[in-house]
Structure 1
Amino acid sequence: MEKACHFPVEMEHKAWWALKFLNFDPAKAQWKRGNQLLELKEMCLHAYESSRTYKDKVKFYHDTKLMKRTFHPGDLVLLFNSWLTLFPGKLKSKWSGPFMVKRVFQSGAVELESSTEDDQQQRWIVNGQRLKHYVGGDVEQFASVMMLVDP
């Protein structure tokens, strides 16, 4: 896909200077102007190619950082809330949940379900990269195991 190219003012004046420099010979001026336009076209194509290779490299780097997680209906997961800034602090967890997975879409989206105090079911669809598996259990249970291990 090619985009329209707008000439800067300097390019317009170069045509007049080329005519003046070449003693107003229209054939030489036309040849020189054609070469300048071809050079400009080559620079544009080179810029588009550089942009395409840069985008490919950034996409490859981004895709290597994605973790492949598979979720199944009935799994318990935690949801990462990056926009949660009500009480900023180091020790505040940005993970909320656990929520139950109701459905997994082929695109990587996951439908979550949570129950409220009124026994109402809330459902919403989130990106699967914002989720991680919930490993159940109480914190006290893990703390007692750690105390037995440390002397």
Structure 2
Amino acid sequence: MDKASKEKLFQLQEIEELRREAYDNSRMYKEKYKAIHDSSILRRSFKLGDKVLKFKARFKFGDRKLKERWNGPYIITKVLGYGAFELKDEKNGTTHLANGHLLKLFYGKPAKT
């Protein structure tokens, strides 16, 4: 009986070591994958006075492939916390808030319509 209980205890310890090793391997894999993922993310930085375009985030039925997906240009008037910006429309002077991941820098002159 004593030998069987020692064997069972040894098996439980072995299972616990395998579990810990699997946990460590999973953690290392997640850290590596996160580093690879984070390296591919573009870090955008905007400052006051920059001209930006804003992505049209709303889906509308019937949008075509070649339809413009960006609005603007807008001027950044205020930098808020957590990646938010206050934008001023150049055409009519209205202001609104936008998240930074929906913006990209504007280069060039607006198209005349």
Q: TM-score range by the shorter chain?
A: 0.7 to 0.9
Question: What does residue range 35-114 of structure 1 map to in structure 2 within 5 Å?
Answer: 35-81=10-56, 83-86=57-60, 87-104=62-79, 109-114=83-88
- What TM-score, normalized to structure 1? 0.58
- Bigger Rg over Cα: 1
Amino acid corresponding to residue 95 of structure 1 in structure 2: W
Distance 1:104 1:119 in 2: 17
With normalisation by structure 2, the TM-score equals 0.73
1:134 corresponding residue in structure 2: 106
* Equivalent residues, number: 111
Post-superposition shift, 1:41? Answer: 1.1
> 1:111 is aligned with what amino acid?
F
Runs of 4+ in 1 over 6 A off after TM superposition: none
- Match in the other structure for 2:95: 121
Cα distance change of structure 1 residues 96 and 119 upon mapping to structure 2, 3 Å threshold: closer
CA-to-aligned-CA distance 1:100-129 (integer Å, 9 cap, x gap): 22333575x1313244x985532x241x34
Distance change >3 Å, CA 44–CA 79, structure 1 → 2: farther
The structure with the largest helix share of the pair is 1
- Root-mean-square deviation (Å): 2.9
TM-superposed deviation, 1:67: 2.0
Unaligned runs of 5+ in 2: none
Higher relative contact order at CA 8 Å, sep ≥6: structure 1 or structure 2? 2
Shift of 1:85: 2.3
Deviation per residue, 1:82-111 (Å, 9 max, x gap): x5321343213332332322333575x131
